[in-house]
Amino acid sequence: MSASAQKIRRYLVAGVQLTSREDVAENLARCEALVREAAARGASLVALPENFSFFGDEAKKLASAEPLDGPVLTRLASLAAELHIHIVAGGFPERASVPGKVHNTLVVFGPRGERLAVYRKIHLFDVDLPGAGQRYRESDTVVPGDETVVVDTELGKLGLSICYDVRFPELYRQLAEKGAELILVPAAFTQYTGKDHWHALLRARAIENQAYVLAPGQFGQHNPKRATYGKSVLIDPWGLVVAQAGDREGVVIGEVDFAELDRVRAELPALRHRRLP
């Protein structure tokens, strides 16, 4: 029987909010503890934020890079199988074929520990924020992906993205056209941009694509040069906040109900009304 035929129509999802730093072992231990907490509270899917395994110096990030079958993802696959849940590894440095660079890669694991999907971040965070005295050049160390990814699971069709992608609505429309019902946006949003843009962008992506959006984020001070906004959130297809994390590490958990998604799409069938000149 196909994943879509077995689809579960109502379940709990969780986003893990972290303050990751440079110690991979410590970061993973914290991830595991919070994933276990989420599973104990009934979550069928648990999503980790961007940079969950490492957040720090760029040279050290390159040194921490692993292949898809490396220790970091192997540990998460085993955890998914043990807990019988879906785990979304929200963005880690995957070794790339280009010397001196990595991919920023998201991986979805199923409840038997199987790797269901891989997404490599398409839009790289190359910005100058003079108001915050900050400059970022993700492209210095990261090779962009070139494929939109929607994976059909027993929990519905998951649309995959990472952080800065959220500013590019055309990507999310492609996810919607491929049937995305729950969109993942693991992130490490800066405090400077997050306070004004985080909720507005995420709610817009939910409303215009009539999908649930789960956005687990990094929070707090990671090093002297980088602080993130947090406010990990689950948003429903009407654009309402279902659940939101506080200003600390922890778990945000809420319900995905596809009867509600079906109702929104039936009452306001904007996805069917789309016309291009």
* Residues carrying an active site annotation: 50, 121, 163
Count CB neighbours of 192 within 10 A: 15
Sheet of 233-235, strand order: 150-153, 156-160, 182-184, 212-215, 233-235, 241-244
Nearest to 172 by CA among 199, 203, 144, 143: 203
Nearest to 237 by CA among 220, 216, 222, 259: 259
Residue type at position 193 = T
Two structure tokens written together for 209? 């694509």
- Token pair 């070794």 is found at 95
